[in-house]
A and B are shown apart, each in its own frame.
Chain A
Amino acid sequence: MKENIKIPYFPGCTLKTKAKNFEVSAIEASKMIGIELTEIPKWNCCGVVSSLSTDDLMKHIAPVRNLIRVQEMNDSGQANGNRLLTLCSMCFNSMKRTNQRVKNKPEDMKSINDFMYLEKDYLGGVEVIHYFELLDEEILGRIKEKSVKSLKDLKIAPYYGCMLLRPKDIGIDNPEEPSVMENLISSLGGKPVKWDAKSRCCGSYHTVNNKDIVINLAKGIIENARKSGADTIITSCPLCAFNLDNRQKEIIKKDHGFRTMPVFYFSQLMAVAFGLKEEFIGLDGNYIDPKPLLKEKKLI
C-alpha cells in the first residue's frame, strides 16, 4: 500500500465563499482515504478566465504568483514534490494554462518574473493537477474500502463541463469520452449514468449578464440527465454547479412542469458514502435540497 499523500492545495475564492460545502466535504472525505490537502499560504486569485491574447501578460501574474508559493513550500521543506492540487475546475484550468504558457515561452516567463521583482523567480518546476488526477487504482481501492453506505440505488450523471477537458493538452481525460468521474462513481458503489450532455456547455459566465442563455442550457442538460435515468448530477466546477443548481429557480418559473434535480459536488457524495457527519457533507449549501433524494435512497 502506498503512503499517505500530503499535497499543497489551492482552494480559490469560490470554495471560501459560495462553495464552502465543496471544500469541507473534499477535505474531510480525503482524510478518510489518506489524502491530506495543505492549503498554500498567502494564495491569491487563480487568474480566472485569463486572457488568451499574446500581449496581455498582466492576467497571468496571479497564477504565477501562486506557483511561486508552491515553489517556496518546496524550497523550505514544507512540501515534498512539485504538485499543486485544485478542486475547482476553473482554477485548475486557468493555472495549468498559465503554467504551460510560461514554461513554453521563456520570454513570457522572463517578463512576468521581471515584473514581480519582489518575488523569487518562478522556475517552472510546479505541476498543476486536478483532484481527479489522484484517483489511480490505489486511491480508488481505498475509496471502495471506505464506502460504508452503498450508493447502489443512486443513478449519478457525471458532468465534466469544459474546464476539465479542454483544450486537449490541458484536459485530464479524453475530451470526447472521459471516464474519470465514472470510475469514481463506480468506486463509491454508485451507478454512473451514460448520457449525452456530460461535457456540454453550461453557459459559463453568461450567468452574470445574460442568464437566459444559461437557463436554457441548464434546462437542456438537466432534462438530458433525467431522460437518461439520472437521479442527480455531480460536478467539480462551482460555476457549473451554480448554473445547474441555482438556475433551476428560474427554470421552474419559466416551465412549471419542470422537475428539479439535486446537483452535488463529487466530494459531497464521497462524504455521503463514507458516512461522514452532515456538517462535512454540507447539504445546506446546495440550492435544490438534496435531502429528500438521499433520504429516499436511505443514505442519510
Chain B
Amino acid sequence: MSDTQKMVKVYVMGEAYMVPEGSTIVGAFEYAGFQLKRGVGCREGFCGACATVYREKGDYKLKGGLGCQTVVTDEMYIAQIPFVPADKPIYDMDEITPDAGTFMNLYPSVFRCVSCNTCTKACPQDIQVMDYIQAIIKGDIAEAANLSFDCIRCGLCALRCPAEIVQFNAAILAQRLYGKYIAPKSPELEVRANEIIEGKYVKELEELATMEKQKLVDKYYNREIKIS
C-alpha cells in the first residue's frame, strides 16, 4: 500500500476500522483483521454466499448486497450474513407438476405475497423478485423461471419479506419444473446421451487417458473445429 492510499472509516458491529478506499465489503472485513469462514465464496459475484447488510452515512435505509461486489463508503456500517436457514422442502421431481398447485403444497407462503416489492428492492442481482412470485401465483411457471434465472440464492429477499416467503428456494423449484416439463427438448441431446450410455466413446476416452503427454497436446491443438 502506498503512502498516498486514501483510507475510509467503516463500522464492523459498531466498532470503527480504517480500510483502503475502494475496498469491497468482504475486503474491508479482511483488512480489518476478520477471518471470514462463512459469508464469503467465489469473490466474483456468482456464488451468492456473501449476502451483506449495510447502511451508509446519513441514510436510514438498511441496504443489502453482495459483500464481494459492494464497495465501502466512508462511515459505512457493515455486517455479513453467514447463512440463511430458509425452508427447503424435499420433493420428487417425477411426482410434481408445473403448476401453481405444486407451490401451494411446497411453498404455501408464496400465496401470502402482499405485492410490497420489498424483495425486489433487496435483490443484489436486480431481479424482479415480486414479479416472479406473482407469476407463480398465476401458474405461469415458465415466466417465473425466466424472471428468476439470475438468482444466486443469497437469501436477502427472504430475509426482508414481510410475508415470510422463501422466494429464492421457490425460484429453484420453478426453474427445475421449467427444465423438466416446459423447456423445449433437444433431440440431439438425447441421441448423444444414449451414445454415451451405450459406450460409444469409451474406447476413445481410454486412448486419450493413456496417451503420452506431447501426443495429447498435439492432438488437442490439431483438432478439427466445426463452427456451425
> Which residues of A are interface residues toward B (Cβ below 8 A)?
13, 16-17, 42-45, 47, 58-59, 61-62, 65, 115-116, 118
A16 in complex: contacting residue of B113, B116, B117, B140, CB < 8 Å: B140
- Alpha-carbon separation in the docked complex, A116 to B116 (Å): 7
Which residue on chain A has the smallest CB distance to residue B120?
Answer: A118
B114 CB within 8 Å of chain A: yes
Q: Which of B64-72, B130-138, B197-205 contacts A (4 or more CB under 8 A)?
A: B130-138
Which residue on chain B has the smallest CB distance to residue A66?
Answer: B115
Query: Are B137 and A45 interface neighbours, CB within 8 A?
Result: yes
With A13-B100, A65-B115 known as contacts, the answer to whether A44 contacts B130 (CB < 8 A) is yes
With A58-B114, A62-B114 known as contacts, the answer to whether A45 contacts B134 (CB < 8 A) is yes
Chain B residues positioned under 8 Å from A65 (CB to CB)? 115, 117
- Alpha-carbon separation in the docked complex, A61 to B113 (Å): 10
B117 in complex: contacting residue of A17, A45, A118, CB < 8 Å: A118
Chain B residues positioned under 8 Å from A62 (CB to CB)? 113-115
B137 in complex: contacting residue of A13, A42, A47, A115, CB < 8 Å: A13
Query: Are B113 and A45 interface neighbours, CB within 8 A?
Result: yes
Chain A residues positioned under 8 Å from B116 (CB to CB)? 58, 61, 115-116
B179 CB within 8 Å of chain A: no
Query: Are A17 and B115 interface neighbours, CB within 8 A?
Result: no
Chain A residues positioned under 8 Å from B114 (CB to CB)? 45, 47, 58-59, 61-62
Query: Are B138 and A42 interface neighbours, CB within 8 A?
Result: no
B98-117 vs A: 1/0 string, CB under 8 Å? 01110000000000011111
Query: Are B100 and A116 interface neighbours, CB within 8 A?
Result: no
A17 in complex: contacting residue of B100, B113, B134, CB < 8 Å: B100
Of B100, B114, B130, most buried by chain A (CB within 10 Å of CB) is B114
The size of the chain B interface, using a CB distance under 8 A, is 17
Which residue on chain A has the smallest CB distance to residue B118?
Answer: A115
Which residue on chain B has the smallest CB distance to residue A46?
Answer: B115
Chain A residues positioned under 8 Å from B99 (CB to CB)? 17
Chain B residues positioned under 8 Å from A44 (CB to CB)? 113, 115, 130-131, 134
A-B contact pairs, 29 of them (CB 8 A): A13-B137, A13-B138, A16-B138, A17-B100, A17-B101, A17-B139, A42-B131, A43-B134, A44-B113, A44-B115, A44-B130, A44-B131, A44-B134, A45-B113, A45-B115, A45-B134, A45-B137, A47-B114, A58-B116, A59-B114, A61-B114, A61-B115, A62-B113, A62-B114, A62-B115, A65-B115, A65-B117, A116-B117, A118-B117
Please name the 9 residue pairs, one residue from A and one from B, whose CB atoms are nearest each other, closest first: A62-B115, A17-B139, A44-B115, A16-B138, A44-B134, A17-B100, A13-B137, A65-B115, A61-B116
Chain A residues positioned under 8 Å from B121 (CB to CB)? 118
Chain A residues positioned under 8 Å from B100 (CB to CB)? 13, 17
Chain B residues positioned under 8 Å from A43 (CB to CB)? 134
Of B100, B115, B139, B162, most buried by chain A (CB within 10 Å of CB) is B115
Chain B residues positioned under 8 Å from A59 (CB to CB)? 114
A72 to chain B, nearest CB (A): 15
- Alpha-carbon separation in the docked complex, A67 to B60 (Å): 29
Give 5 new A-B contacts, CB below 8 A, not counting A13-B139, A17-B138, A61-B114: A13-B137, A17-B100, A17-B139, A45-B114, A118-B121
B149 to chain A, nearest CB (A): 18
B152-178 vs A: 1/0 string, CB under 8 Å? 000000000010000000000000000
B221 to chain A, nearest CB (A): 52
A20 to chain B, nearest CB (A): 9
Which residue on chain A has the smallest CB distance to residue B116?
Answer: A61
Chain A residues positioned under 8 Å from B138 (CB to CB)? 13, 16-17
A86 to chain B, nearest CB (A): 15
Chain A residues positioned under 8 Å from B101 (CB to CB)? 17
Chain B residues positioned under 8 Å from A115 (CB to CB)? 116
Which residue on chain A has the smallest CB distance to residue B134?
Answer: A44
- Alpha-carbon separation in the docked complex, A62 to B117 (Å): 9
Query: Are B130 and A58 interface neighbours, CB within 8 A?
Result: no
Which residue on chain B has the smallest CB distance to residue A58?
Answer: B114
- Alpha-carbon separation in the docked complex, A61 to B140 (Å): 22
Which residue on chain B has the smallest CB distance to residue A11?
Answer: B138
- Alpha-carbon separation in the docked complex, A62 to B99 (Å): 22
A205 to chain B, nearest CB (A): 12
A217 to chain B, nearest CB (A): 23
- Alpha-carbon separation in the docked complex, A47 to B113 (Å): 9
Chain A residues positioned under 8 Å from B162 (CB to CB)? 58
- Alpha-carbon separation in the docked complex, A59 to B116 (Å): 9
- Alpha-carbon separation in the docked complex, A16 to B137 (Å): 9
Query: Are A16 and B134 interface neighbours, CB within 8 A?
Result: no
B residues 120-149 near A (Cβ < 8 Å) are 121, 130-131, 134, 137-140
Which residue on chain B has the smallest CB distance to residue A17?
Answer: B139
Of A17, A44, A59, most buried by chain B (CB within 10 Å of CB) is A44
A52 to chain B, nearest CB (A): 15
